[in-house]
Structure 1
Amino acid sequence: MLIRSVILMVYGLAAGALIAASFLAFLSMIGVIPRLAGLTKTIKYARTYENCIALGGILGTAVYIYRWHIPLGWPILIIYGVFGGICVGCLVGALAEMLKSLPIFSRRLIIRDGIPYIVYAIALGKIFGCYIQFYLERK
């Protein structure tokens, strides 16, 4: 039983580290932070922005896993919602810009036909993954 627990702990930590690294690599690949810092003319604080995003991911994961109850009231919930919406909006905008690079990517890989199928496969994978997470895991 102890060996199984240790293996599960190592597996969980490795999977969590992989997801965190991929998310941060994704953010750096699409360049959200430098663009926002450039637009707001606060490029000297770019490192602070990156640290805040990493800290937010760590704290968000801890709150989700350990189900911490933070009784701060409605005003803090509204502020959290506004900043969460800003973050999601920035990611959506960056993803929209990334989709513009899909034709360049397809030319380099010599993919002539099937680009719509690739986009559909990505969308269906996301839908299927959300369905598994939200509907099948809770039953």
Structure 2
Amino acid sequence: MRISEAHVGRTYPPSEPYLVSREKIAEFAAAIGGDDAAYTGPDAVAPPTFAAVLAARAWQSMFADPELDVALHRTIHGDQRFTWTRPLRAGDEVVATLGIQSVRMRGRSAIIGVGVELAVDGEVVCTSTSTLFQTWPEEASA
């Protein structure tokens, strides 16, 4: 089987908690060239795009679903947006819950919309929405 419009609305169990540490915030900020003082110190907040790390981890539940036949090596990440209620802070334990929001089939490809809710202590602090382009080899298109 392969992902189809019938899978829209499917959600996956929340991920294992991810501890946002000052060290991870500092590493990420350095990687993106972020030099804002808010990214350092005991009350550090994560750069907004830090949420991409947690969202991508949540995608693993979809890639591991044998019913969908989606694979990272055949996926192009087309778009990602974030909606925030508050920033991620050092010390937050975040769980991510992924849901499939849309699927459009186009020949041997699918355009997949996914949403990932990032929650701290049960409160959703960020929603990440992404568009993924999935392809299949010609011989698998039957």
Q: TM-score range by the shorter chain?
A: under 0.3
Q: Which has the higher contact order (CA 8 A, sep 6+)?
A: 2
What TM-score, normalized to structure 2? 0.25
State TM-score, norm by structure 1: 0.25
Higher normalized helix content (fraction of residues): 1
| Bigger Rg over Cα | 1
